Structure 1
């Protein structure tokens, strides 16, 4: 498969969300172990790629990504890869994520059996969540549960899990950080689902945005962003105020959500992802320097 096609399949523009969650989780622990941080980032990125490949495959075989699609090109629906090629890619990247995750646990947990069991369970759930969004008989993305899953895995699991691997304790700082990362990830997914409402309706993909309807989905976007900013305020200290620079792209993205539809929301997606990365990186900088 050509490199250009692989890049379309893995969706590089979505990967900063995984980076943001891990970096913020590490900083919230109050101590950063470089080896654990690198392996946590690698594992999270691989799981995000698994999810993206599975989403391409699941929506492609169901016909959700049809000719009328207004979002980025999908490699299966556009005929650039075969279902077999995409399945093989999913298997390979899933195997790589498992290897990276096991190396992470070996480094962080040593011989702590009880901790191993807990994180192995979280790892298995993370893989199932990555695959189950659009795969299986009843993919949860088609039931309107994608937003909740994003909050849990990009927020609670990624942030609190990374923090625990750095320092085995749960803190209020970690809780606020998990809220920020989870809510902002939900905001990105909600824009994606508002943009795709027409196609999802035709394909029977009942996302939360579709269930709410356009006006309430827009209001929900505002509520999620407001809650994320309020949670972020609890973490701002010292250098952490650099995070305020992320508010401008978030606000610009929200303005587009309120006034635009369809393909014009691709710009809102990019702005919201950028604002998320800036805000969380700023918060992480402040926490690490505190």
Structure 2
């Protein structure tokens, strides 16, 4: 039967998806030329809005009687797109399922930015908080204070503390985060009606979706850094043990270059960096 959605053609949708892929590539921190890609809070919010567009699109598609046919047609087109030799290797798994949670894909790429620095981190946190506030349509001081209070409680519930402005996980306990693998619609409104309690309740439930996910991704990155630090400490200790055996400087340098799985009992799950990606042609 093929694609027959009245709102958008399959060709137009694929063009938008290619643009979205380019955004993800830039969000990773570098252009295809190798030069760094910088982002400010406003442009990060625009990138998040791209993710929201795809989530809303799939939310509308799910209401169609032809939903399964439409998704099958799109996945076949995506498979053909991602099979191209010019398509970024790190995004080969792109499908309708991943696009249905596109906001969190965007946030993940920004959080795992290869050149993550203080400026990028501040822009990302500001963008996530401002997006949450916009979704709740909060502009008054009281509403903002309530949001900050809720977010603070959420951070404490994850046993997260701040050190020099960065989030660090208390290793004594393991946090639990919302299931980001499920599509979550973005509810945006320019005003909040006192009589629409149900809609407000839904908004409050998702009020800190973006901020919560950022915290989760920062904790993953912190775990990766901790793993690399452990590898370095192990190598230093190992070098101290064997230095008396008259190994040459070249041999010691080769030992330092060994991957984690060469000295640890099992491969380190945090040391497998994602494959480099290039912009879609």
* TM-score after normalising by structure 2: 0.31
More helix by share: 1
Larger Rg: 2
